[in-house]
Chains A and B, each alone.
Chain A
Amino acid sequence: DIQMTQSPSSLSASVGDRVTITCRASQGISIYLAWYQQRPGEVPKLLIYGAATLQSGVPSRFSGSGSGTDFTLTISSLQPEDVATYYCQKYNRAPLAFGQGTKVEIK
């Protein structure tokens, strides 16, 4: 089965900073990669699918890129409401798999 590895596991950045999270698949998955945001105490929310397609209603400061095995989620200007854990998920075929999560905090 394909494994998903995120880095870093956590990060601390200042408001307004550019933040980048990486997700690596153990085998190629084309662009079948999604990103979710889970704020503290809340339900996961879909941000991006197809590696780079922004889900409706998601702020444009979020962007995704990559294909094959290496993907990135970028927050162009970190906001206080972006404090959350971010998960990547591969979905090229079953079984699905999530990364272990990246916790983003404000410095």
Chain B
Amino acid sequence: QITLKESGPTLVKPTQTLTLTCTSSGFSLSTSGVGVGWIRQPPGKALEWLGVIYWDDDKFYSPSLKSRLTITKDTSNNQVVLTMTNMDPVDTATYYCAYRLPWVGMVFDPWGQGILVTVSS
């Protein structure tokens, strides 16, 4: 069974850097075809794709956030880390990590439970 869980701060101040960790089980980040994506959802709003990292360390980012985002992986701990710089109140959202279906494309299932991050001074 594949599971993912996000962890990190639930409150950050404007201009600070957000670091979230996605800890997964049921698959290995070193297995060919595996990928983990990050998606966020502001309260009451639609889903927004942030980025994805693959088993071979290939990465893709949302063009609108690329300058602020970094996604890395720790294969030994089966973790993926999202870093977003210069946080702003508009970045308040639930942040999800999700498992990319191998060899299907950038389609995600299952998703982690999500973590609500509030940006406020």
Contact = CB atoms under 8 A, between A and B. Distances in A.
Co-assembled chains A and B: yes
Interface of A: 1, 32, 34, 36, 43-46, 49-50, 55, 87, 89, 91-92, 94-101
Contacts of B113: 43
Given A95-B62, A100-B46, A45 B105 contact: no
A55 B109 contact: yes
B96 A43 contact: yes
B63 A96 contact: no
Contacts, number: 61
B105 A32 contact: yes
A43 B112 contact: yes
Nearest to A94: B60
Interface of B: 37, 39, 46-49, 52, 60-63, 96, 101, 104-114
Given A43-B113, A43-B114, A44-B96, A98 B47 contact: yes
A11 to B, nearest CB: 16
Contacts of A43: 96, 110-114
Contacts of B96: 43-44
